[in-house]
Each structure stands twice: as C-alpha cells, then as structure tokens.
Chain A
C-alpha cells in the first residue's frame, strides 16, 4: 500500500513539483497518471522509490516512511519496487539475459559481482522472467539488435526479476509505435492481474490509460485534480486535467 499524506515537493530552484498531495493506492491496483508535461507526473512516481526526496508531508510505502530511509536500508527498500523508463535504460551492448541478471546484483557478494558470476538458479529465473514477457527466444541476443518494443520487454523482465510488489513506469510507451505500445500495455495488465503487483504508470496517451488502467489520477501543476475509476473519466474531466477548466472531483 502506498500512502501520500499532505506531500509537497519544492525543487531547489523554487519550482513546486507537488502540492499537498493526498493519495492511497492499495496493493494490486493498476493506476495511470495523466497530465501535461511538467505537471508533476514524474515527480509523483519518483518520490515513491525516493529517486526524488519529498520536502513536506509523509509518504508511507508498505508501512515504511520513505524519508527515514538511507544508504543500505534505502537500497533494500528499492529492491521491492521495480522501475521502468521511457528510454528503456538497458546496456544495449549486452545480451538480454545479462540485462535481466543485473537486477539480482544488489543481493550478491562482492566477488561474484566483480567477476559477473551468476548461479544456474539465477540464470533460470532470468529466463523465466523473459518468458513471462514473451521474448525467451531473444535471451542471448544483444539488445541493440532488438526492436523498441522488445527492448522495453527486456526492461520489464529485468524489473520482474527482482520480484517487486510495486512497478513504477515513467512513460514506458512514449518511444514506441501504437501497435507495440498496446502490446507492452497488455503485458503490464497481465502482470498486474496474474502476480498482484501494483502498477503505477505515467502516460501521455489517454486512450491507452483508459483502456488498461483501472484507476486514473489526473495531475495539473502539482495538484491532483482527478482521482477515480477509469470508467468515470469523461471529456469534462480530461478538459480539467489538460485545460484547467474546473470540474468537481469524482470518485471515492
């Protein structure tokens, strides 16, 4: 469970990323976060695994106040939260399986890390993760030989391989064509349903958000302007999120 309690984020240059956000996201939800560029979507997602520090309020993830974490405890905390990026962030010169295996590195001893020695069980687990996203046959192919959609699936497999309870995805389909975007989104949906992993996605494509997510959060200038089931998102709601017309909050 993720709880935002009066959370605000002010950047050092004075820009307000988040303004007094209150949210509760239960385990196993599929949440799409929509809004204009710069509205605070990325900030919201990145505060959850503390890639960005919040400046006010309290953020509790699975019973842990994230601002109390540091060093080793923070790294251990991050193991439970997978993150997916718009630009895939793979080592493109390594094979798919090597990229997936990197997510196990934090749990390994110094010399195994240094020499890159992975056990047979780890390799099998990585292959299973690749199988779950349907690209087992590309396991030993270098990532620069894969298409954008395949690369994003490798990234997804890498995240699954760390057995997370939450997956954060920052614009995961922005660099993909529409057909591939649908495939990747349905991968997320499947993972969400089959493995009961919470999925939080920042997304620009409203149609994709409404189709795959069960809950939509609309954010404008750092404030939550809509929070409710995707079925209740109307044109008026979208106008308020994207154009600033005021619409009463739906939901809860």
Chain B
C-alpha cells in the first residue's frame, strides 16, 4: 500500500508524504475488536454469578482440607476400593483402549487419503472420522453401557472407538510427511515396489505411529479417570461417590493418586516419544 504513492513520483518521499502513505489497517483492527467484544458481551449474558452456593464455602474448605490431609489408609489400601487398584484399572482401560484404537485407526487412515483410495471413499471415511471425533467420549460410554453393562470393559470399548478419530488424523499427517527421496535411492539400487514400502516407508512411519499411540495413551488415561462418572470403570466412579457424600479426605486421596499418576505417565511418555522421533 505504501508503494502506491511512490510510483507516482520519481523523487524520494518527504517525511509527511511517507507518513501519509502509511498502511491504514485501523478499520480491520477496529472490526476485529468489535467482533470479539460483541461475542464476549453476548456470551456474558448466559453467565451470571449468583454468589456461592449455600454450602459452597464449606465445600471449598473441605476440598482444601482433603488435599492437605488425604486419607492415607485409602491411599495405600491394596483392596479393590484402594487408590492403587483403582489407578491400575484406569491405566488398564487406557492401555487396551489405546491399543485397539491405534490398530483400528490404521485402515481408517489409509482409507482417508485420496491419494490411495478413490475420492468418494476418502470423503466418507473422513466424515466418519469427524463424527467419531465430535461425539464426546462420555456419550459413547453411555451408549456402550447398554451393550456391555456398567463395568471397565465398557471403558475399553469406548476408548477404542473414541481414539480412532484423533489417532487416524495424526497417522494421516505422518503418512503425508514421508521423505520420498529415500524411495529414489532404493529405486536406484533395484528394489521392487514391495521392497520400497518395506524398507523405505515402514521404517519411517512406524516410529511416528507408535509415538502417536503413546501420545493418545496420555490423553486416554486422563479421559479414563472421568469415564467412571458414568459407570464405565476406573477411578472416576469412586471419586464422584466420595464427592457426593462429602468425604473430603477420601476425595483428597483419590485426587492425589490421580495427579501423581498423570505426572508420572506424562513424564515417561514425553521421554519415550522424544527417543522415538529424535533418537535421544
């Protein structure tokens, strides 16, 4: 925009002219600010703070107390009620759910690429992936409960289905990022198409696929902690029961266990993924 005036005259611009020729984008900024603020004002209408609930302050105090003094008996109790068993079950749900989801996502990701399959198949697959991703995992769980009954198996089935959406999306990216120059060198050494896939493509995408699965495992563990709220196994069920009956020290114990588990898993999954993709 600034160049427009410059083209008209051959002599260098004076300072005033340069200033006059400055890009004028103020109306765009104003527009953006207006849109954002009107959106905010609109969303503000739904949210009215009506003071604390009748027992609100009590609950806040209770949670704080519970976190400081968690029920150590429950925390190290080795029965099925205890925190360790509940955590292990939560992780178990995520392990199986992620594994099955990761396997199911492989055909999905190939069927979603219009470079591999006809356009209409790719379109349908993408639509299915989008639907799977949009329906919240809690809804999946509530539907599957009708099939499996309220147990940990329901959690596994739910996560197997939910994971497909994101995992296949990330698989697709990995497939698109393949370095095809390697194929050229395999070509030059006389490889067949099958040999090129086995030694040029698979060694590149397998670390990416595993890394994706581990990343999703991280998310699934966190997700599995809430699936219990609807009865699909894992620590969530016990946690929500304790919250509802205001047993704050038990709530504290479950929360502590969850936080430690999540930090632990995130630390190791980041480490393994870095090793896979960067080799260190």
Contacts and interface: CB of A to CB of B under 8 A. Distances in A.
Interface of A: 49, 51, 74-79, 81-83, 85, 87, 89-94, 98, 102-103, 105-106, 110, 113-114, 116, 142, 144-145, 155, 158-159, 162, 168
A171 to B, nearest CB: 13
8 nearest A-B residue pairs (beta carbon): A78-B190, A83-B188, A75-B190, A89-B185, A142-B279, A106-B190, A91-B203, A102-B199
Contacts of A89: 181-182, 184-185
Given A78-B189, A90-B182, A93-B276, 17 more contacts: A51-B187, A75-B190, A75-B192, A78-B187, A85-B184, A89-B181, A92-B179, A93-B203, A93-B204, A93-B277, A93-B279, A102-B199, A105-B191, A106-B189, A106-B190, A113-B194, A144-B279
Contacts of A102: 186, 189, 191, 199
Contacts of A144: 278-279
Given A90-B182, A105-B195, A79 B207 contact: no
Contacts of A82: 188-189
A93 B207 contact: yes
A113 B190 contact: no
Interface in B238-280: 276-280
Nearest to A164: B189
A98 B189 CA distance: 15
Nearest to B275: A142
6 contacts: A89-B184, A89-B185, A102-B191, A113-B198, A114-B198, A158-B185
B191 A75 contact: yes
Nearest to A107: B190
Contacts of B280: 145
Interface residues of B, dominant DSSP: helix
Interface of B: 179, 181-182, 184-192, 194-195, 198-200, 203-204, 207, 276-280
Contacts of A90: 182
Contacts of B204: 91, 93
A91 B279 contact: no
B218 to A, nearest CB: 21
Contacts of B189: 78-79, 82-83, 102-103, 105-106, 158-159, 162
Find the residue from A76, A79, A91, A110 having the highest chain B CB count within 10 A: A91
A89 B191 CA distance: 15
B177 to A, nearest CB: 12
A71 B90 CA distance: 54
A90 B186 CA distance: 10
A200 B171 CA distance: 40
A76 B191 CA distance: 9
A94 B190 contact: no
Contacts of A94: 203
A63 B276 CA distance: 47
Nearest to B183: A89
Contacts of A83: 185, 188-189
Contact of A87 (B181, B191, B199, B207): B181
A77 B190 contact: yes
Contacts of A76: 190
Contacts of A49: 188
B35 to A, nearest CB: 45
A175 to B, nearest CB: 12
A76 B192 CA distance: 11
Given A91-B182, A91-B200, A145 B279 contact: yes
Contacts of A114: 198
Nearest to A84: B185
A103 B185 CA distance: 9
